[in-house]
Structure 1
Amino acid sequence: MANENGTWIMYGVEWDDPECLHTVRDAINYINEVGFLPLFKNDIPGFSLEERTVPEYWWCGDPKVDPWEWRELIARSGEVAYGKFFEKKAGFISKEWLPFFANYRRDGYDFDALWDDEKASRRQKKIMDCFEKEDELYSNELKLRAGFGKDGEKGFDGTVTDLLMKTYLCVKDFRQRKNKKGEFYGWPIAIYSKPEALWGYDYVTSRYDESPPESGKTIEKHVMDMYPIATAAQIKRLLGGAFGTEVRSKKKKFRQPKEWIIPANPKYYDIVHAFDDETIINWKQGAGIIEGDTVFMYVGAPVSSVLYKCKVIETDIPYEYSDRNLTIKALMKIQLQKKYNPEEFTFEVLKNEYGIAAIRGPRGITNSLSEALN
């Protein structure tokens, strides 16, 4: 924090203070313990990494004791999400708490569904499209690929910050750039990624079965339990949203039926023969899918092709299942309408002719693909 003379003042503790974090491992353990933590001091006293470290060690350049260096190591660890998560400022969210933030901040929307419902900007879409084919991108490379910069789109940093705040992106690492000879140079820069690329789609979206306000109330209660002196206004400023209010059930909005392409992994379910003896089966319900929608089932390797067109005839069927590969909170009932030749809509066809390079969760389809499938 800068004082009236422009001098940067850091708040913290002495090295021998019982609350002092001495190493990056101490910091990771503490973040996992409290669940989420801003990097710098904010309205809630004590709720930051800054206030639990030695002020004199910031920006000293020694990764053993410099919390500024720790943020790079924490992002790289894969144990904690790092990004501009709090008031558009940097902070950390543990793996345990990320699904709560994802459901709350995204309002239950995957990005494709957000775009389909016209709730995402064109600039956000340009950035997120870059991650259809890549799991990670240097910030400068992302800026170039998404068409920002000189003679292109404006507001790259602000658009990325909005996507970080909504948890559609996080900072996976910090690395030096490479020159044409493959040699590293310059300061380390941010490597962006989708949280799903770190921890899997099913895990990141595992709270989608509850309403976003419920996830918000859970976050709020956790902060109040840790910091009883925090007010609802302070929490709202830091975390965003209508904290301090009762959770109200959301009325379902009517919309016209939509078409989705959804993944099916033959390693976990014999989807290839699922419709051999019946035309109606239960399937994991995807976020945003409602009765009346159409789903095209893309079967993963070794098939790697769209095999079925189905009508969704019932949703919100209660079901609880979880293992290290899959989490199911609800089922939908789908009815077979059409089978496709496995050679017709292969992964290569989807990628090269329709621009769909990854199917990790339910996503809308383009008009051209819809016409071909129908």
Structure 2
Amino acid sequence: MKEVIGKLGILPLASLLPEHPSVTGLTLDENWHSDTELDPWSWRARFPGEGVAAYGKFIRKKAVLVSSEWFPAYTAAAGSQLSLEERYDSGLCSREALTLLQIIRDNQGIETRELRTLADMKAKEKKTAFDNAVTELQGTLDIVISGVKERHNAAGEKNGWNSTSFETVSHWMADYKIPAFKGTREEAVTWLRSRMEQEWHPGAVKWLGKVLSW
């Protein structure tokens, strides 16, 4: 799977781009949630943790893996050139997204429960707003899902579902010594298109260009 991600650059977890592979399409159903080396569900934490690929809901609120080689250009091409504070002042992002990003900046690798607590969004009626804000920050390439942390009870025993953790894009890239793209947004788009056209079906290239307004 690492070879596939390296070759294709962008690989969604489930079917998303037309005529383009996905992790679910390339793996066996029985391996999912098997807690084995072959469990694709575990790779969403393993690959970011090894610096192989960034992971997050980067395209149409869907989970995607982007190789570390492609990620700088993808961030430059699909992310905003304005800071979140500038976007907030212009009415281009939610207050919840701004609050969460400020917390994540100060607590890199923070897991979901702690993030909700610090943001005062633990209440059940605030869960939807929290989920939307986290997804928003991934879609604008402000944060990535950096891993998954096990939940433990007071005795230190594993208890319940694992919890997703988050960090900023810049922090994740710095951790794995991935340099930022040197060039304009247009140059980043050109770089990505040239790579896509070598490996992707034309329909997938066209679809992504339309979705991201390239």
TM-score (norm 2): 0.83
In the alignment, the residues of structure 1 paired with residue 64 and residue 205 of structure 2 have an alpha-carbon distance, to the nearest angstrom, of 20
Matched, 1:85 2:85: no
Corresponding residue for residue 196 of structure 1: 170
SS of the residue aligned with 1:96?
Answer: coil
2:150 pairs with one of 170, 176, 190: 176
Which structure has the greater CA radius of gyration?
1
1:49 maps to 2:20: no
Q: Name the CA distance, whole Å, in 1 between partners of 2:213 and 2:32.
A: 35
2:109 aligns with 136
Q: Distance in 1 between matches of 2:2 and 2:204?
A: 26
Distance 1:84 1:35 in 2: 15
1:82–1:93 Cα contact (<8 Å) kept: yes
Among candidates 156, 160, 164, match of residue 130 of structure 2: 156
Structure 1 pair 40/139, CA: closer, same or farther in 2 (3 Å)? same
1:30 aligns to 2:7 (yes or no): no
| CA distance in structure 2 between the partners assigned to 1:164 and 1:92 by the alignment | 12
Whether the aligned pair in 2 keeps the contact of 1:124 and 1:160 (CA below 8 Å) is yes
Cα separation, 2, equivalents of 1:43 and 1:231: 6
- 1:241 is aligned to 212
- Residue 205 of structure 1: CA displacement? 7.2
Between Structure 1 and Structure 2, which shows a larger proportion of helix residues?
2
Aligned to 1:160, the other structure's residue is in SS state: helix
Residue 230 of structure 1 pairs with residue 207 of structure 2: no
Aligned partners of 1:83 and 1:164 also within 8 Å: yes
CA distance in 1, matches of 2:59, 2:137: 12
Q: Distance in 2 between matches of 1:151 and 1:37?
A: 33
- TM-score of the pair, normalised by structure 1: 0.51
| Shift of residue 159, structure 1, vs aligned partner | 1.1
Q: Tell whether the 8 Å contact from 1:101 to 1:167 is kept in structure 2 after alignment.
A: no
Alpha-carbon separation, structure 2, partners of 1:217 and 1:117: 28
> Is residue 64 from structure 1 mapped to residue 37 from structure 2 by the alignment?
yes
Higher share in strand: 1
Out of 86, 102, 120, the residue aligned to residue 75 of structure 2 is: 102
Counterpart of 2:28, as a letter, is V
Deviations along 1:127-153, one digit per CA (max 9) or x if unpaired, are 011023211111121122112242875
Question: Distance between the aligned counterparts of 1:49 and 1:178, measured in 2?
Answer: 29
RMSD, aligned CA: 2.7
**Distance change >3 Å, CA 204–CA 76, structure 1 → 2:** closer
* Change over 3 Å in CA distance of 1:152–1:231 after alignment to 2: closer
State the AA in 2 paired with 1:165: G
Percent identity between matched residues is 22
**Matched residue SS, 2:6:** helix
Confirm whether residue 215 of structure 1 aligns to residue 188 of structure 2. Answer: yes
Contact conserved, 1:102 with 1:205, CA < 8 A, in 2?
no
Distance, in Å, in 1 between the alignment partners of 2:170 and 2:70 is 14
For 2:62, give the aligned amino acid. K
What count of residue pairs does the alignment treat as equivalent?
212
Deviations 1:97-154 (A, max 9, x none): 1111222222323334444555332111110110232111111211221122428755
Letter in 2 for 1:219: L
> How far apart are 1:180 and its partner, in Å?
4.0
CA distances 1:275-295 after superposition (whole Å, capped 9, x unpaired): xxxxxxxxxxxxxxxxxxxxx
Letter in 2 for 1:58: W
- The secondary structure found in structure 2 opposite 1:186 is coil
Matched AA of 2:102: D
- One-letter amino acid of the counterpart of residue 130, structure 1: I
Larger RCO (alpha carbons 8 Å, 6+ apart): 2
Distance in 1 of aligned mates of 2:80 and 2:213:
12
Rounded to whole Å, the distance in 2 between the matches of 1:198 and 1:214 is 23
